[in-house]
Structure formats: structure tokens, C-alpha cells
Amino acid sequence: MAKWLVKTEPSECSIDDFENAQVQTIPWDGVRNYQARNFLQEMAEGDDVFVYHSSCKHIGVAGIVRVVTSAYPDPTQFRADSPYYDPKSTPEKPRWQAVDMAFEKKLPRLIPLDEIKSLPGLEGLALIRRGNRLSVMPVTEQQWQIILANA
DNA sequence: GCCAACGTTGGC
DNA sequence: GCCAACGTTGGC
């Protein structure tokens, strides 16, 4: 079972939104980067995903969600009124994918970015590589355990 | 609000 | 196919 990390601005979608969701799942859509999309496509039902809060007051890993539905064409790419609309995409040849995720748990505390940067064994984590902008990335089992152990 | 780093676009 | 210009990301 693979493990992942996704970035999100909590003002858009936070771990609390997952916890409080009336519907059980939240679609992870609007990803418009090819490398991130490819990782989305690799996600399988049941995979665990760290939720990372970015561009906010408390930056860091806040909780865990689970992949409930593996990749399907992101409907927002076809909606002209969506900020994620992509006129070059067609239902026959969709460019972008989404997955559905559900709340699993909040971590006992948010693990701040500067701590993640200082933990031994996380040097290879894409999140903390210089200038990184990936919003969806794989996390190795070992990296996952190191982060969890510091929660 | 600044700005470094990056991905994408489009002219050639 | 190159690469300059541009827009975006995201920490600070």
C-alpha cells in the first residue's frame, strides 16, 4: 500500500474540512501539473495520504486521509465556469485526473515544516527539496514512519 | 508583500 | 527544439 503527501491551503481545504465533511469523501481535483497528476494516477484505493497545510499561519503536516476512489477524469476541467477549466481538454481525451479522499485522522499535533526539515532520514522527501513545487508526491514507508513518530 | 525557483507558453 | 518572457507557488 503506497503512501503519499498532498499540499493544500487550509483556507481552501483543510484536514478539518475532511473531519467535518457531511459527505464522506472530498474530491481532490484542480491539480494542474503533469508530474502531480501522474502521481494522482498512481494512487490506489486504500492508500494513506498526509495532508500538508501550506501558505498559512501553521505550516506543516496536519493529518491523514485515505484514497477512497482511484483516479478518474477531473470534472472541473470541463466546466467553463470553473477556475480549473481547461479548454484544451475533452471528455474523449481528458488531461487531468482527480481522486476521492476521506478523513482518517488528525495527528496529535501539527508537525511544522521546520521540524520536518530537521528530522534525520527525510532528506529525500520531495516536500523539502529546494524550490520544490510539487503538490502531490510519494512518501516512502520509512519517511512516513519518521514523520508519524514525531507527531 | 517580497522574491526565488520553477513550469509553461509561444515566437522564432 | 531553443529559450526568453511570463505566471504561479509558497516560504519568509
What tens digit of pLDDT does each residue of A46-96 get? 999 999 999 999 999 999 999 999 999 999 999 988 889 998 888 888 999
Confidence of residue A151 (pLDDT cuts 50, 70, 90): confident
Covered bases, chain C (protein CB within 7 Å): 8-12
- Closest by CA to A3, choosing from A111, A136, A105, is A136
What is the torsion angle, in degrees rounded to the nearest 10, for the CA atoms of residue A122, residue A51, residue A82 and residue A74?
80
A33 CA, B7 C1': separation in Å?
8
A136 CA, B7 C1': separation in Å?
15
Confidence of residue A131 (pLDDT cuts 50, 70, 90): confident
Residue nearest to nucleotide C11 (CA to C1'): A55
A75 CA, C3 C1': separation in Å?
34
> pLDDT at position A88, please?
87
> pLDDT at position A80, please?
87
CA A106/CA A136 separation, integer angstroms = 19
pLDDT digits 0-9 by tens, A16-39: 999 998 778 999 999 999 999 999
CATH number at A3-149: 3.10.590.10
User: Measured from the CB, is A130 under 7 Å from any atom of strand C?
Assistant: no
> pLDDT at position A130, please?
82
Amino acid at A134: L
Check residues 51 to 110 of chain A and report those whose beta carbon is under 7 Å from nucleic acid strand C. Answer: 54-55, 59
Confidence of residue A117 (pLDDT cuts 50, 70, 90): very high
> pLDDT at position A38, please?
95
A35 CA, C4 C1': separation in Å?
24
Confidence of residue A104 (pLDDT cuts 50, 70, 90): very high
Q: How far is CA A147 from CA A38, A70, A75, A87, A150, in A?
A: 24, 25, 33, 40, 5
